[in-house]
Copies of this chain bind each other. A is one copy, B any other.
Amino acid sequence: MDRGECDRKKNSNVDIVTVLETQIDDLSPQVFGYLFDLLLNVGALDVFTQSVMMKKSRPGILLTVICPVDKINVCEEIVFRETTTLGIRQSLQKRSILDRELKTVNTQYGDVRVKIASQGKGENKTIINVHPEYEDCAAIARKFNQPLTTTQKIVLEAFFNQ
């Protein structure tokens, strides 16, 4: 567990994100599904919904949008326009992030992209996580009639064996 607090602090990346939240009890779930692409396409970093229990036994939805500070206005516009919400709450959060890079691995299926998450630079660079790109693996899985998890496993092995 002890990787050296000093090292970690030198290596960690930090950015600032905005968290937009609104709880809604009078909107069809279809609209929430519709919102995902709309918000991600204008630059939201992440969008998710949660089930909340509201007054009068209403099974409402809490919508959360994580976005860069310069996307607050365009994201709020979309949410006000598409939903029935009367208010959107906003808070700034510091975020510790890993460095990410996309690498291409040559596999029996052809080229597959792999996302590598790391901390630190140069000598101090530590790989924390390696994950094959979902869309690439899903396409291969469907094409070769093979389980998604098996596909991901094979791609990972190709990455580590190169």
* Chain A residues near B (Cβ < 8 Å): 1, 3, 5, 8-9, 12, 17, 19, 21, 23, 25-34, 36-38, 40, 42, 46-62, 64, 66, 73-74, 76-78, 80-82, 84, 86-91, 93-98, 100, 117, 119, 128-129, 131, 134, 138, 141-142, 145, 147-149
Cβ contact within 8 Å between B98 and A86:
yes
A97's nearest neighbour on chain B, judged by CB, is: B87
Given contacts A9-B73, A29-B59, A82-B147, contact A141 B34 (CB under 8 A): yes
Question: Shortest CB–CB separation between residue A23 and chain B, in angstroms?
Answer: 6
A156's nearest neighbour on chain B, judged by CB, is: B153
Contact of A91 among B59, B64, B93 (CB under 8 A): B93
Question: Shortest CB–CB separation between residue A31 and chain B, in angstroms?
Answer: 6
Cβ contact within 8 Å between B36 and A55:
yes
A34's nearest neighbour on chain B, judged by CB, is: B148
Cβ contact within 8 Å between B90 and A95:
yes
